[in-house]
A and B are shown apart, each in its own frame.
Chain A
């Protein structure tokens, strides 16, 4: 490559780098007054260099066989439209082919984004449902939220939360008390902090890895409402 061509390529790359930096500065300026994620460890987030990332299942709800060979951790937001898309388009097939067959267990962790007004409350509500009925009821509640919400922040009115609890035959008084007391606020915030630590900055973000005894997996990260085929390819590779 001639010096001239190298110069041209460098110029174009330089323009993109300067553009990126300018955009980044604008973005940081715009977000500097927003409340930070509740963690002091954001700086420890691993860089997304393709190496598996250590992610814990924590004490979060598990769907499927607890001894499944593969663990799929889903950092999700009940008001995120792409999480809803994953729920409607991909999750049913994943559940049928891998979770119900005992090959994969799915762990749902909360990552309610701060611009989705009702998301954190909905996450707490699902935890309150779990308190009464365990993981099975948690996922029934989870399914109901995703089915009913139109997403984007306030897609499900908060008044609907006890109604869903009633539909699932939970004790509504206990449920409401749990929700009003903010009993699971810290639990949701811990998930948020953990998400930041593992570099999950958007929703949905998934980590897929072989299950371990201590619940910490070496997870391959998938971001966004990717099609079933992406999950299938990774899971099948991990199952080998």
Chain B
């Protein structure tokens, strides 16, 4: 029921953030792809090579996304990148909204929990940033924890949608 209630405003929200989602997803995808061959990427782009060589290596490494991982791994990577893109887009918009409401105060607590406490709005709870961070990193580091990454990103995405589609801040 709650999910159904989220659908209509969520659709609008997602359409509004589509371009930023796609851009962030593409950057994430590129980052993860190059991460596997970070040394080669660094040598290629910072080294004294012609543009043709740089382009060839970049295109080859992008092609390598298909050949250097399993079908499932590739699907998970795409899902993770899209979710990361969607999460970050929503998050940036959320922070923009909060900024309009007043100054943000940042609190970093615990060993791995990063949270934002804003000016007394319960619906604005953004400790999901930690979920997003851990989720995104799990996906990028690829220690066989990509399923967990997708799960965490989904939770983070759901929480963001939920808070973003709320019209009032209840006490």
Is B29 an interface position by the 8 A CB rule? no
Q: How far is the CB of A1 from chain B (nearest CB, A)?
A: 14
- Asked if B133 and A14 sit within 8 Å, CB to CB, the answer is yes
Tell me if A224 counts as interface (CB < 8 A to partner B): yes
Looking at A20, A26, A230, which has the most chain B CB atoms within 10 Å of its CB? A230
Query: Which chain A residues (10-51) contact chain B, with CB distance < 8 Å?
Result: 11-12, 14-24, 26-27, 48-51
**CB distance B57 to A234 under 8 Å?**
yes
Interface size on B, residues (CB 8 A): 48
Question: Once the chains bind, are B56 and A16 in contact (CB under 8 Å)?
Answer: no
Query: How far apart are the CA atoms of A189 and B64 in the complex, in Å?
Result: 29
Whether B40 pairs with A220 at a CB distance below 8 angstroms is yes
CB-based nearest A residue for B114: A15
User: Which listed residue, B40, B41, B108, B135, touches A19 by the CB 8 Å rule?
Assistant: B135
Instruction: Output the residue of A18, A48, A52 with the most chain B CB within 10 A.
Output: A18
Instruction: Decide if B59 is an interface residue (CB 8 Å cutoff).
Output: yes
Is A85 engaged at the interface, CB distance under 8 Å to the other chain? yes
How many residues of A sit at the interface, in one of the four size bands?
A: 35 or more
* A227–B60 CB distance below 8 A: yes
Residue in A24, A224, A233 whose CB lies within 8 Å of B36: A224
A177 CB contacts on chain B under 8 angstroms: none
Q: How far is the CA of A81 from the CA of B64 in the complex (A)?
A: 15
Q: Which residues of the other chain, A, contact B92 by a CB distance below 8 angstroms?
A: 8
- Complex formed: what's the CA distance from A52 to B40 in Å? 9
Name 12 extra pairs, CB < 8 A, besides A11-B129, A48-B39: A15-B132, A17-B133, A50-B43, A52-B43, A224-B68, A226-B60, A226-B61, A226-B63, A226-B64, A227-B63, A230-B60, A234-B57
